[in-house]
Structure 1
Amino acid sequence: MRKFLKKLILFLLFFNSVFGVTPEEAYIEIKAKDLNNNFYMIYYDYEQDIPYLGIDSLTDFLEIKDLNIDRKKIDIPEKLELEDDTYIPITQLKNLIDIKDYTWDPDALKLVLEPNFKLSSEIRKEAEHRIKKFENQKGSNEEYVDVIGEKKLISPGILKFEYSNWDLRSSEYNFGIEYGTQLFYGDFKISQNIEPDLELDYVTLEYDNFLKDGNSLVFGDSYISADGFYDIDRSIRGVSISKNDIFSFRKNNETVISGQVFGANLVELFQGQNLIDYKRLNGSNKFEFIVTNISNFNNYTVKIYYDDGRIEVREVGILSSNRLLSKGESDYSLQVGQSIDAKKLQQYYNYSYGLLNDLTLGTAYVSGVNEDGEKTNSFEFGGIYRTPLKVIPTVIEGKIVQSLDSNNISYLTNINQRFLQTTLFLEYQQFSGSFVESEGYDKYWNVNLSRGFGNLTVSLGNEREILEEDYTDTSYLDLEYNGFRNFGLYMYNDFETPKGEAGEYDLGFKVSYSGFEDFYTILESDHNFDEDNKIENSYSIRVTRKVRRDSKFSNIDFGFNLNYSDSEKFYFGIDFTWYLDSDLIYVETPFNMDDNELRPGLKVEKSILLEKPFSNINTKNMDDIWVEGVVFLDKNGNGIKDEDEDALPEIEIRIGTESRFTDRAGKYIIGNLSSSSIHVLEVNGETLDAMMRPEKDRVVLKGASSSGMVIDIPISPISVITGEIKGEGFKESDFFKLLGKTEIHLIKDGTVLKRIYPEFDGYYYIEDVAPGTYTVKINHKENFENINLVGNSDYTVIIEPKEDGDYIEGFDFHHKMIGAPSEL
């Protein structure tokens, strides 16, 4: 009906054009972010299809209080100077107000504005958000959390049984159990293999944000994060205080990024928007990327896909400046324990302190053995300094490493400097003792220049490895092209010349594309020219599908690789997995093919919530959470289910991609929710009666691992409050202007809950009103000197709690024109 009337108004304006009049009054719908007015007055040039907006009325609608525009000085020839306002064509709006863009729909008479600034309504919401966040100090950095799961001394937890056989042609299989719980107010996880060998896979008791945000205290399995030149076994079982289980280090002209994650199936590496590489874990907990450094001023991003649908993104810094601390700030790591395989003591202690904002000093102690039993026992001291020159940012890092078992001292230093788009990187290392054997040289230096030319980045340099009297020079020229979003093209040129030899040339190409919704593709080729000018060529293509719960065919995982080399000819491999994920059991059926052999596999998992062993929940990760509760009709509005209040069956509850319907008793339970993520619980309004709504539109929650949360959902019967804006002695145009500058406020406890604009006929409707006591008040957005408000300016409305909502009418506001009707 409303659209029909709008089109009728448009037709009448067109009809009047026969008389050649100027732009006519019209009433449209206008929107700007969360602001909306369904009956906004403009002037409309129907011949040119150009809306004219009033400056005062627009600034009033946008709530711009501090924008002072002298209407007489507006230098726009097409403006309309009227008594009440100055109207300008929409095409000139950007010249006066910071508007990014607008969309005008002449058929629907609808205008959508995109301001380049924050609206007052947004600022109010942010202020409310900050207040709520302050009231709940445990809230997330991103949004206010309504319900937080409490850590417990002990909880029943989750028990999972797992059977796997990756080649059904053989009789070999694995059977094990996993268990996760709350223990001593920490997160406890253990995995035990039973067949074919009784062996402890991993065990951890973890405390997040221990003494400092970002630090974790872990008893059990962890990964030592010492610098890469320390040749020690990094997987330990002991005690660790560190930031995370992913670390990176620079080795010559490459960066090594490695770590371990549990319950994940895919790890991706990005630089900027471009995919660099990916690793399919296929049952493994560890991953490693080795990438060539083309840009020395860009960090990397690691994206981890977990089995329960969670996606975790972590920034990995390769720059020395990432480790600079503010003045007075400190950072530390403590990791000590036995290597898991060799059972040898490994130790790593690190402490850094921000002496100045641009100067950080640090010290570390490393002691351990490698897989061959060779020992390392060293103390290091170093610092990072950033020069105060902002035009040429320069970061200098240096380290001195003293072997405590001998008098051997090693030195490492690098300088990273940037001017405009050019980066200079200088690196020098001098090793002694056992480091020479592990690194393969006693001296190393690298000079690198890189520069960006639009979408093209060029990196060139030379590095030399020296071992006693011998050395190897490597000159390189690497290019990276990012011409399109999600598309990366890389070329690597290396010319390696050992002392006294002819040298080898290696040319490599790599193309990555991640623009498809669910697939990644990487093509690579390598061409090696030896000293006799013989060529060895190799080619490969890798394709993988990332499993996401919100994607189509989310129960299928697929990947393949095709390789060719001059020496080994063709080789291909296929991974295909179909997932049967039900509330009772989880099944994977992987098919792997390589060496022309097809290997069918099977993996079966069954988890039990020990607190509710007969619930239909089969969670994937032991540290997941579940949410349960009852949905009921809250007749008295107290938010608590009383004995006389009915439960509501067949109501859909949604949390992310998980959803369940309530049973006959109004109960629901939802699992497979990550404990490290913030979740939003919502009720599907389509499953509710039209005169009902949840008392809260959504509940933001964060649980404690391996445990449940009880969240009951009260549903309120809702009512509609309606009335009419009436006018006596008005011309039609005067009355329309009055309506365009009038709001109806719904107020409770002094807070404005809703702002409603009246319809074109003067009626207003306040919908979705829960039981309670309210004030309905009229608000004029302009002072009308020739209009009197006769009678009430506000009403008290009491909505009694009961099963059905009400349609409450008669709250009218009467206006009378003073004197003879005239223009306002």
Structure 2
Amino acid sequence: MPSIPRYPVPLLLLFLFFCSTQAYAREEPQYDEILVPLMVQNIGSTEIPSIICKDSIYLSISDLFNFLKVRNSFSPRQDSLTGFFITPQAVFLIDKVNNRIQYQGKSFTLPSGGLFHTPTGLFLQSDYFEKIFGLLCVFNFRDLSVTLSTNIELPAIREMRQETMRLNINYLKGEIKADTTIARNYPLVHIGMADWSVIATQRLPGTSDTRLNLTLGGIIAGGETNISLNYNNFSQAHQETSHHAVVNKSFDEKQQYYRWRYANNDHQALRQIIAGKIFVQSTASVYAPVVGLQFTNAPTTSRRSFGTYTLSNYTEPGWIVELYVNNSLVDYTKADASGFFTFQVPMVYGNTLVKLRFYGPWGEERSREESINIPFNFLPRHEFEYTASAGIVEDGHNSGFSRIQLNYGASPKITVGGGMEYLSTVTSGKNMPFLNTSVRIMPSILLSGDYTCNVKARGILSYRAPSNLEVELNYTRYKRGQTAISYNYLEERKLSISRPFNSRHFSAFSRLMLNQVLLPDTKYTTAEWLLSGSILGIGTGLTTYAIFTEQAPLYAYSNLSLSFRLPAKMMSTSQLQYEYNNHKPISMRCELSKQVFHHGYVNISYEQNFKSRITNIGIGFRYDLPFTQTGLSSWHNNNMTTLVESLRGSLIYDNKTKFLDANNRISTGTGGIILLPYLDLNCNGQREAGEPRVAGLKANISNGRIQYSDRDTLVRITDIEPYTNYHIELDPNSFDNIAWQIKKKSLNVAIDPNRLKLIEVPVAVLGEVSGKVYLNREGQGRIIVGIYNSDSILVAHILTEPDGYFNFMGLTPGSYTVRLDSSQLLRLRLSASTTVIPFHIICSNDGDMVDGLDFQLFVP
């Protein structure tokens, strides 16, 4: 924001009334320079040296062009200015000696009062900026400001657009630049997270049972370690009343979970090592947990950037074409003489919305858009990915299982893969080699398929139209007699058609699914038609199911659900299930819920099943305390009353800051950050003894929960996804003291799992220096002042204001000198009694200020 001019209003008005003071040059009338605010459309504002006379304003040409990023340079005597405007071919010469401007082969002769020359530069009357360069400068005499507008794409605007495009492209790719990057840590042993829950159930008449869960999250040998212990005495209580054999133990090993994972996304050859209960994507039917090892070079986070593709087309000649990807401007160009244009479109995984906007020279505007879908099973070109797993299946037989899968991005449109799977209990063939491929036939048409030897073959074809209509065909053929998959299907055919609908009064989504299964002796077909949306603020869902078999007639029924808000912040939800064969309802359910006491929720429900003649009435209450979530509910049906009480929460601990927090969310498997701001008195970026903490730091992050603590000055960010780099912006205006400044305002932090990462934020305590430059006892503006450190390195380069005043904030403690520019003084034919003044900035909690550094100039 521009600063307020330093002149008192009465003196300024008096100056404008007489419009004459001391002369700056022998040939010019007597004028003074002042700073006026300049607002430029689509760029911003600044203050620019100007001369005002009567109702006209004269702007400093060099300062204006520098702000607009127009190249210009003065002659040695500063009586002419040369450069080029927008393009190197558009050369200009502003010549005060001949009172003339040459631009693009044309010569413009100026009147005697159109161009002023002072020792600090050339000033052109504002009207001529529009007549010659197309820059409309509107002067507001009442508030002494200038507004500049133009239809020309100025270099400053082009630079801002290019910077915006670079930021948008980096955001799409997940590559956001920061002032500093903080990598992951791999401690030897650390326990930082714990989740717990207690659920007790009583049945009257009947049995009672209790379910307990304790999950611990930490780091062992640099790897994420999660252990989940589960206890459930339902089977034991059931045995006491039914006298049947116990099927499951109260503390069943199958229900326990433990896993260790070492991950480093910077290692391309091996990014993850996993031990314990591993997740496998098996072709064979594996329903029990697998205990073993897994190695992969797949990253822990989902890929975002896939690559680029060339988009070219024709429009009107000379039109400007802008490219938007997911509503973010990423590129623009100008169509050639034939109307041809081309772009390299960055693609990201998932659905990418590509939009083109066309702008004509007379204000015409058109647009066109298309969607590109990149599934996550596609790999970028020449990228290789593998996953190898091996272990024992906890199925009671200790079955051996192993699987290795290889995938390769052959081209931007084709990904191929294959591998081998082994399961010792498969009688039709323990070894199962397989192949898979994915092909992007067109931006909106995808084909993928896989084949497993002696098990099955599958193909999937999907299409997405510009109207967001999606069609997917899925066909699977199974090997007769195979035992790898538990069911005995011969063929499976699926068709899915979906499309969203939007208007001013409603939004809806429709999907039709057909599924046909062929068995050795029969076949059956199921159909599902879904309609879901919001009509006049009422959430509506209608799902119709139909089953076709050869042995029985068509069976069809529908589920209708409605949800809407009632007065007093209540929500009503109703559901009805209707059978078409018998033309009567099957069941109905109504629920009424309301938020109470800010963090409490109460709900009442009634359910009637007309087919089974069962009636359920329930009431429930949940209240979220800061440290736990509590719940109490009760159901009553025809013969039984059930009561359920629940408590759940989590703990977070950090040993370095001795922080212990209890909350009502799941914490295990997440990460966090602790920001510790401190006064960096010597500005070396490292915290040392005697440098105190400072309160008031404000931070911004795209995800997570931020907690500010005035007691210990810390900023805690929790509930963050681990193994992901997060961009944190620190507010430079967090502190009231302007001497406290944050040098590194943006952080790129790699999040550790089950751990709060401590980051010390240095707040530099900077000094300020000020002074004045005089010429014949009056302030002299536009004089170059340099500030140098003890090694004679330039630290700051500033210009004095019209009254000769200068100041600079941002000096670290140490010895400095302030110097006048000797070459400028020589050019202006001025001398100074002294051109160098030493000063010292001392360490202080509030910052040091040195003033009174005055220079006296004179004409030799």
Amino acid at match of 1:430: R
- Counterpart position of 1:190: 227
Instruction: Tell me how far apart the structure 1 counterparts of residues 586 and 218 of structure 2 sit (CA, whole Å).
Output: 54
Q: Distance in 1 between matches of 2:194 and 2:575?
A: 43
Query: Taking structure 1 as reference, are residues 709 and 810 closer, same or farther at Cα in structure 2, changes over 3 Å only?
Result: same
- The answer to whether 1:358 aligns with 2:413 is yes
Letter in 1 for 2:268: K
Match of 1:232 among 286, 291, 312: 286
Alpha-carbon distance change, 689 to 246 in structure 1, aligned in 2, over 3 angstroms: closer
For residues 584-618 of structure 1, the C-alpha deviation after alignment (integer angstroms, 9 at most, x for no partner) is xx433333455596644334656665x56965555
Aligned: 1:591 with 2:632:
yes
User: What residue number does 1:323 align with?
Assistant: 377
1:157 lines up with 2:191 in the alignment:
yes
Give the direction of change, closer, same or farther, for the CA distance of 1:329–1:635 in structure 2 (3 Å limit): closer
User: Where do 1:569-718 residues align within 5 Å?
Assistant: 574=620, 576-580=622-626, 586-592=627-633, 594-595=635-636, 599-603=644-648, 616=660, 621=667, 635-639=681-685, 646-648=690-692, 651=695, 657-661=706-710, 674=720, 676=723, 678=726, 680=728, 691-693=739-741, 701-702=749-750, 704-705=752-753, 716-718=764-766
Deviation at 1:219, TM superposition (A): 0.7
- CA positional deviation for 1:801: 3.7
For 1:467, give the aligned amino acid.
L
Structure 1 distance, partners of 2:134, 2:851, is 45
What is aligned with 2:554? Answer: 503
Q: Do the aligned partners of residues 501 and 534 (structure 1) sit closer, same or farther apart at CA in structure 2, a change above 3 Å counting?
A: farther
Contact 1:502/1:531 (<8 A) preserved: no
Answer whether contact 1:26 1:43 (CA < 8 A) is retained. no
- Shift of the 575–231 alpha-carbon distance from structure 1 to 2, 3 Å rule, reads farther
The answer to whether the aligner puts 1:28 opposite 2:28 as a matched pair is no
Shift of 1:771: 1.0
- In structure 2, distance between residues paired with 1:340 and 1:544: 44
1:27 maps to amino acid: V
Residues 704 and 812 of structure 1, relative CA distance in 2, 3 Å threshold: same
Distance 1:117 1:507 in 2: 58
Q: Percent identity?
A: 14
Rate the CA distance shift 1:344–1:575 in 2: closer, same or farther, 3 A: farther
Q: State how far apart, in whole Å, the 2-side matches of 1:70 and 1:43 are.
A: 28
Provide the rounded CA distance (Å) in 2 between the counterparts of 1:527 and 1:90. 75
Deviations 1:516-563, CA, capped at 9 Å, x for gaps: xxx999978666453344455756779899xxxxxx99x947586967
| 1:348 counterpart residue number | 403
Give the aligned partner of residue 770 of structure 2: 722
Does 2:516 align with 1:464? yes
Cα distance change on mapping 1:505 and 1:163 into 2, 3 Å: closer
Residue 443 of structure 1 aligns with which residue? 491
Letter in 1 for 2:402: Q
For the residues of structure 2 that align with 1:790 and 1:124, how far apart are their CA atoms?
A: 48
Which has more radius of gyration?
A: 2
Write the deviation string for residues 756-775 of structure 1: whole angstroms up to 9, x where unpaired: 67667553332243213557
CA pair 82-194 structure 1, distance change in 2 beyond 3 A: farther
Report whether the alignment pairs 1:338 with 2:392.
yes
Paired position in structure 2 for 1:394: 445
Change (3 A) 1:380 1:542: farther
* 1:157 aligned counterpart, secondary structure: strand
Residue in 2 aligned with 1:252? none
Give secondary structure in 1 for the equivalent of 2:264. Answer: coil
Query: What SS does the corresponding residue of 1:188 show, helix, strand or coil?
Result: strand
3-state DSSP of counterpart to 1:352: strand
Preserved contact between residue 280 and residue 389 of structure 2 (Cα < 8 Å)? yes
Q: CA deviation at 1:231?
A: 2.9
Which of residues 63, 67, 92 in structure 2 aligns to 1:61?
67
Query: CA RMSD of the aligned region, Å?
Result: 6.6
> Which residue in 1 is equivalent to 2:437?
383
Give the Cα separation in 1 of the matches to 2:619 and 2:457.
Answer: 45
In the alignment, which residue of structure 2 is the partner of 1:425? 472
CA contact (8 A) 1:164 1:604 kept: no
1:246 and 1:444, CA in 2 relative to 1: closer, same or farther beyond 3 A?
farther
Distance 1:638 1:90 in 2: 48
Counterparts of 2:619 and 2:571 in 1: how far apart (Å)? 15
Do the aligned partners of 1:488 and 1:511 also contact (CA within 8 Å) in 2?
Answer: yes
Give the Cα separation in 1 of the matches to 2:464 and 2:11. 60
Verify the 8 A CA contact 1:573 1:593 in the aligned structure 2. yes
The residue type equivalent to 1:807 in the other structure is M
Query: What is the CA–CA distance in structure 1 between the aligned matches of 2:570 and 2:390, rounded to whole Å?
Result: 39
Query: What aligned pairs does 1:110-125 form with structure 2 within 5 A after superposition?
Result: 117-119=158-160
Q: How many residues align?
A: 682
| Deviation of the 1:149 alpha carbon | 5.0
Measured against aligned partners, the alpha-carbon deviations of 1:219-262 in whole angstroms (never above 9, x if no partner) come to: 112322346xx432264332223558999xxxxxxxxxxxxxxx
Aligned partners of 1:6 and 1:108 also within 8 Å: no
Change (3 A) 1:706 1:161: closer
Would you say the 8 A contact 1:26–1:41 is kept in 2?
Answer: yes
Task: Map 1:522-601; keep pairs closer than 5 Å.
Answer: 528-536=578-586, 556=599, 558=601, 567=610, 574=620, 576-580=622-626, 586-592=627-633, 594-595=635-636, 599-601=644-646
Matched residue, 1:279:
none
Q: TM-score if structure 2 supplies the norm length?
A: 0.59
Q: Secondary structure at the match of 1:805?
A: coil
Query: In the superposition, relative to structure 1, how do residues 575 and 359 fare at CA in structure 2: closer, same or farther (>3 Å)?
Result: farther
| 2:274 matches 1:218 | yes
- The answer for the alignment partner of 1:310 in structure 2 is none
Q: 1:562 to 1:797 in 2, by over 3 A?
A: farther
Distance 2:797 2:562 in 1: 54
Q: Secondary structure of the residue that 1:119 maps to in structure 2?
A: helix
Partners of 1:159 and 1:589 in 2: CA distance: 20
Residue 539 and residue 64 in structure 1: after superposition, are their counterparts in 2 closer, same or farther (change >3 A)? farther
34-43 vs 763-772, which moves further: 34-43
Structure 2 residues not aligned, in runs of 5+ = 18-32, 72-84, 93-102, 106-110, 116-122, 234-249, 303-325, 328-348, 353-370, 701-705
* Aligned match of 1:136: none
- Report the Cα distance in structure 1 between the residues aligned to 2:826 and 2:276, rounded to whole angstroms: 77
Q: Label 1:786 to 1:538 Cα distance change in 2 as closer, same or farther (>3 A).
A: farther
For 2:605 and 2:54, the matched residues in 1 are separated by 64
Q: For residues 628 and 440 of structure 1, what CA distance do their matches in structure 2 show?
A: 55
2:191 partner amino acid:
G
Give the CA deviation at 1:566.
6.2
Residue pair 1:757, 1:764 contacting (<8 A) in 2 also:
yes
Residue 332 of structure 1: how far off its partner (Å):
1.9
Give the Cα separation in 2 of the matches to 1:345 and 1:579: 46
AA aligned to 1:411 is A
Q: Deviations over 1:364-404 (max 9, x none)?
A: 4344599x9999864322222233xx5x753322222223x
For 2:787 and 2:571, how far apart are their aligned partners in 1? 55
Q: Which amino acid aligns with 1:648?
A: P
Q: Is the 8 A contact 1:513 1:521 kept in 2?
A: yes
TM-score normalised per structure 1: 0.61
Q: Go from structure 1 to structure 2 and tell me whether the alpha carbon gap of 1:140 and 1:793 turns closer, same or farther (over 3 Å shift).
A: farther
Q: 2 CA distance for matches of 1:489 and 1:88?
A: 63
SS in 2 for 1:60: helix
